[in-house]
Amino acid sequence: DRNVVAVRQFRYGANKIIVEFPGGNPKPGQSSVDVALAECEDETGYKAGDLVSLYPQIYFEPAFMVAPYHPYLARNCTPTGVQKLDEEEYLEVLMVSLPEWLEMIRLGEVEDSKTIAITFLALRHLGVELQLPK
């Protein structure tokens, strides 16, 4: 339905609440697909109907740390109504229309670089064509 589900949570590195997509690290034996499915459902209370791999691997900050991530687009999500948060997680779920989400990015309300990159990579799968200025 072209709505975006994201979360708001306090991030110590920014010392404020950040709007971002759910994500996490694999437990032993988990694939990146397993992590994406679990984190989507656990953090948002929405179960992904299917996942689209957006890029094989992207790095957070390759200049000084080894921290790759695997971006996915979760589609056809259905609400479970239940978040399964870790003990130290306090997340607020946010749902906005895709045009509103893009405007939030444009206005600087979304500051998480991985979330902005994932949005950019997902656009073509959502039927959004970017028009470059001439």
Q: Please confirm, yes or no, whether 87 is among the known catalytic residues.
A: yes
- What Å distances lie between residue 125 and 65, 72, 81, 100, 120, CA to CA? 30, 11, 26, 18, 10
Which residue in the list 20, 41, 87, 111 is annotated as catalytic? 87
Return d(Cα 35, Cα 85) in angstroms, integer: 14
Return d(Cα 77, Cα 120) in angstroms, integer: 20
| Catalytic center residues | 87
